[in-house]
Amino acid sequence: MKTRRSRKVLDDWKVLRQFLPAGWKEQARRLGALRRVRQIRGPTMLLRALLVHLAGGCSLAETAVRLRQAGWCRISSVSLFQRLQAAEEWLRWLAQQMWAGPRVIAGQKRRVRAVDGTLVREAGRTGSIWRVHFSLNLSNLQCDYFELTDQRGGETFRRLPVEPGDLVLGDRAYGTPPGVAHVTSCGGQVLVRINLKRLPLYSPQGRRISILARLRGVRRGEPHEWPAHVRGPDGLMIAGRLVAIRRGRQATQHAQRRLRRKAQKQQQTLSAQALEAARYVFVWTSLPPEEYGTQAVLELYRVRWLIEIAFKRMKSLFGLGQLPKRVDASARAWLHGKLFAALLVERLILAAESVSPWGYALHDTPQPLARDAVHAS
């Protein structure tokens, strides 16, 4: 039994290592993950051991037992914990190498990226709280950027590296003049949900727009748009559009109930303006109207929920939402390792389409089947 189990682990590793970035062994030594060579004698054994803990859902004590049963090494949970701490920079490097390269949605000229953040915490009442900042490339649902900060690290577009032509999607937290200015100054475009208090809009003549006054004329099923500019930190206007649609009755009631629960929980007074605004979905975009019409803008924002799925997948598959109660250094190493494991799985899923029983790709591009070739001739 032990021999068969060890052979299966070996076979799994042969598959996994094909997806590891070039130079991963050298980086383990350069970044200090292998300062001690007892028990675990090289980068291969270290990474396999850490993946049992990070991707297998095992505690450090369980991981130590499994490593011994598999015949890999004999190491205590305390020593394994120390190895995890020492591997922080290496795990961060591995996760960064899993970023997807620039891609565009089929039929689109732009790389469309949904940006969000989520809080994760260590177990226990006094555990440290962290925020994961994350960008998802909507062409292939892979992460193209992430950053780990403490809970005080705010959600802002200014954290995001932006390339010319990028289209960046964000929720209300990202709708601020400095964030919008950062994206557009880098040559990108913005599509963001509007927070009435954080993103004031102006007419082309420079007058402040009453957003609610505009929305009151919107009927159900009839999306509207108006020219609306954002004033950047330097005082210059950034041209764009206010795009809005009225919610259905049930969706309005659901949104208003959610606002009431939140206000009650936070012991705040809910304003009449907030309840009125809940009747609509309204966004601001810098996209030119000839590229995306009114309805296309709303449909594009609707797919932003895909990034929520990515976070849920990480939390459910890898327990990202519950950090082990350790010192901050080990928690950072643990989080980077979880992100690396999750992104490695995404890479495996993406590559699964090319897996074949004969073990190699026939061509880089699909070739016609025999039946198609006959008809073509």
Provide the residue ranges of all domains of the chain, joining segments of one domain with +: 2-97+329-354, 112-313
Residue with tokens 């190498």, as numbered in its chain: 97
Please, which pLDDT band fits residue 373 given cuts at 50, 70 and 90?
very low
Pick from 142, 150, 41, 112: nearest CA to 300: 112
Alpha-carbon gap, residue 335 to 242, rounded angstroms = 38
Mean pLDDT of the chain: 82
| Percent of the chain with pLDDT strictly greater than 70 | 79
**Class of the CATH-defined domain 112-313:** alpha beta
Tell me the mean pLDDT in the region 98-123: 71
User: Which is more confident, 34 or 346?
Assistant: 34
The DSSP secondary-structure symbol of 202 reads B
The pLDDT assigned to 341 comes to 85
CA 350 to chain centre: 16
Please, which pLDDT band fits residue 58 given cuts at 50, 70 and 90?
confident
Pick from 142, 140, 144: nearest CA to 105: 140
Alpha-carbon gap, residue 179 to 175, rounded angstroms = 7
Alpha-carbon gap, residue 50 to 213, rounded angstroms = 57
The pLDDT assigned to 232 comes to 96
User: Which is more confident, 7 or 325?
Assistant: 325
Tell me the mean pLDDT in the region 136-142: 73
Alpha-carbon gap, residue 323 to 310, rounded angstroms = 18
Tell me the mean pLDDT in the region 220-244: 96
The pLDDT assigned to 225 comes to 97
The pLDDT assigned to 269 comes to 92
Query: Which 3 state secondary structure label does DSSP give 335?
Result: helix
The pLDDT assigned to 364 comes to 46
pTM of the model: 0.70
Question: pLDDT for 287-301, tens place per residue?
Answer: 999 999 999 999 888
The pLDDT assigned to 117 comes to 85
In the structure encoding, which two tokens stand for residue 159, read together? 């954290």
User: Which is more confident, 3 or 160?
Assistant: 160
User: How many Cα atoms within 13 Å fall on the side-chain side of residue 154?
Assistant: 10
194, 216 contact by CB (below 8 A)? no
Tell me the CA distances in angstroms from 233 to 99, 248, 265, one per residue in order. 31, 36, 34
CA 243 to chain centre: 25
Torsion of CA 29, 16, 111, 141, to 10 degrees: -130
186, 163 contact by CB (below 8 A)? yes
The pLDDT assigned to 370 comes to 32
User: Which is more confident, 190 or 39?
Assistant: 190
The pLDDT assigned to 327 comes to 64
Tell me the mean pLDDT in the region 178-196: 97
55, 346 contact by CB (below 8 A)? no
Side chain identity at 357, as an amino acid letter?
A: P
The pLDDT assigned to 10 comes to 42
